[in-house]
Amino acid sequence: MSPSQSASFLYAENLDAFPEELKGGIVAIGNFDGVHRGHRAVLGAALGLGHGTHHPVFAMSFEPHPRTVFNPSKPVYRLTPPPLKVEMLNACGLDGALILPFTREFAGIEANAFVQDILIDTLGISHAVTGYDFHFGRARQGTPDYLRMAGAENGFGVTIVQREEDEGAEVISSTRIRDCLAQGDVAQANALLGYRWYFDATVEHGDKRGRDLGYPTANLHLSGDSPLLQGIYAVKVRTENGWHDGVASYGRRPTFDDGAVVFEVFLFDFSGDLYGQALRIHLVSYLRGEDKFDSAEALVAQMDRDSAEARAALQSLQPLSEIDMKLLDLAT
């Protein structure tokens, strides 16, 4: 368990397993992919309502993304797959989370049945908090106004949180963050998230060419729908033995074989065997695009420059928020 997690956090993946301890609570409802600053405004409103009361505060979310269900040929990349979403919700200070399977059948539930059967009969909520754009039920008939009226009729409170904007008055959204990652704008993606975006992956065997170049790397494979722009990144990496600074290359290695896309990480001042380990990679900055070099020597010279630039970026690392501090263990 990471320092950002609480042992008392309760988690369920279906209504039948919903914990008795969370019944009667304040529920924040949304997709919450990325648990970005806009999502945390919704979660923060729920936590504020629960402060000083006996009501537990929990999140209700859905997997997979509705757009993936209705258009499976174009799945929506998850900034935070379910395990990471749950971890983030835990880090936000909630008492628990309910992640419901989203299916076509679930999408066809009438709005009044969603309210009566789920919110009232199963969860027994005292208050619901959602974002301004949350819709539910068949044909998205459950609007924020509908939820307000349902709450007034059935004795539970409803809070609708207005859109959260960035410093440029643009709405913060998961789609914007995916677009930023696809464009190599890691700084903007992280600013919208309020923490350094991260993913987990297991180290696999590669061709070991990096050793011959003086840069032994850990090879990781990202999912095929990853939007991440190919190039060179400064990264913060958590191994089984703790945190390390590093530089990473994501791409096809055009200088050598232009092969399958792979994420290769070189850890500074590290020696040891990482094969089979699950690493956590936090993106700190995007350094440059992937280039083809005329020789291995020219590539190594550029790698030396990349390493120096990455070290400089990591040396001045400051937490973006309290959540970022927790995730990177910067408080210790």
C-beta separation of 185 from 233 below 8 A: no
- The mean pLDDT of 241-269, rounded to a whole number, is 88
Relative orientation angle of helices 186-193 and 174-182, to the nearest 10 degrees: 160
Helix (H, G, I), strand (E, B) or coil at 309: helix
Q: How confident is the model at residue 332 (pLDDT cuts 50, 70, 90)?
A: very low
Percent of the chain with pLDDT over 70: 93
Question: What is the predicted pLDDT for the residue at 68?
Answer: 92
| CA-based max dimension of the chain | 73
State the pLDDT at residue 3: 43
Mean pLDDT of 17-33: 96
Choose the weakest-confidence range: 77-81, 85-89, 210-214, 305-309.
210-214
Kindly state the percentage of the chain with pLDDT values over 90: 75
**Residue-level pLDDT at 330:** 65
- Distance, in Å, from the CA atom of 85 to the CA atom of 203, rounded to the nearest integer, reads 22
Give CA angle at 148 (146, 149), nearest 5°: 65
Q: Calculate mean pLDDT across residues 78-102.
A: 95
Active site (catalytic) residues: 264
Give pLDDT, residue 1. 43
Mean pLDDT, all residues of the chain: 91
pLDDT tens-digit map of 149-192: 999 999 999 999 998 888 888 999 999 999 999 999 999 999 99
pLDDT of residue 5: 54
Average pLDDT over residues 273-280: 92
pLDDT band per the 50, 70, 90 thresholds, residue 6: low
Place of tokens 């890691």: 186
